[in-house]
Copies of this chain bind each other. A is one copy, B any other.
Amino acid sequence: MNMNKKNSADAGQSPKTLRRRLHPDDRRQQIIDGAVAFFAEVGLDGKTRDLAKKIGITQSLLFKYFATKDALIEAVYEQVYLNRLSPEWTHRIADRSIPLRDRILAFYSDYSRLIFEYNWMRIFMFSGLAGAELNRRYLDHMHQMILRPLLEEIRVAASGSAVPTMEDLWNLHGGIVYIGIRQHIYRMPYTADPNEAIERSVNRFLSAFSVETA
């Protein structure tokens, strides 16, 4: 009756679970990657047992690498948020040797790769709803490092009498971000080319302030 210990010589059933021993760094990263995908899908209230099953490890192992579930979620935040807004963009936006329109399109071409990503978009929304401090900081960073310089550049380039406000810029930004929200939060079928939509949106915005668009 006791099927413990290595007496399985006759039944011949191979050990159900190949117990693979990973280097702690690799295992930790594997858990984080799995957790990002998992929590992005079901939300931060996802259960540790479900996560473990999805990764293919035991639930108890999670707690060998992260003291608490909150600590794991913190690691998820870190993985998702870290190095997302390159500080280089602040400078590139202000580089007047390049046409303003090109600078904006270059930024959003780069940035859209981020916001149109399933895991990012959903974890950003989940953490935002949960009131995570990180969201506020991220948006503040977006405001200070991207939109504010951008506002200044557009004001300088505006040749008409109309000049944009910061609220106008958030409107431009929001319209673009909303593409990702429709895709990944609301899961609406999306067939169009996001880059084209972005380009048209930017063009409309600039022409409203008489920034040459062609």
**Contact A43 to B130, CB < 8 A, known contacts A178-B171, A200-B168:** yes
Evaluate contact between B204 and A208: CB separation under 8 angstroms: yes
A186-B43 in contact given A129-B126, A179-B174 (Cβ < 8 Å): no
Question: If the complex has contacts A174-B177, A174-B181, A197-B171, are A186 and B135 also in contact, measured as CB distance less than 8 A?
Answer: yes
A208 — which chain B residues lie within 8 A by C-beta?
Answer: 203-204, 207-208
- The chain B residue sitting closest to A140, CB to CB, is B188
Q: Is A98 in the interface zone, CB < 8 Å from B?
A: no
Work out how many copies of this chain go into the complex: 2
A23 contact set on B, CB distance < 8 A: none
Give the contacts of A121-168 with B (CB-CB under 8 A).
Answer: 122, 125-126, 128-131, 135-136, 139, 165, 167-168
Q: In the bound complex, do residue A172 and residue B175 qualify as a contact, i.e. CB atoms below 8 Å apart?
A: yes
A interface residues with partner B (beta carbon < 8 Å): 43, 45, 122, 125-126, 128-131, 135-136, 139, 165, 167-168, 170-179, 181-182, 185-188, 192, 196-197, 200-201, 203-205, 207-208
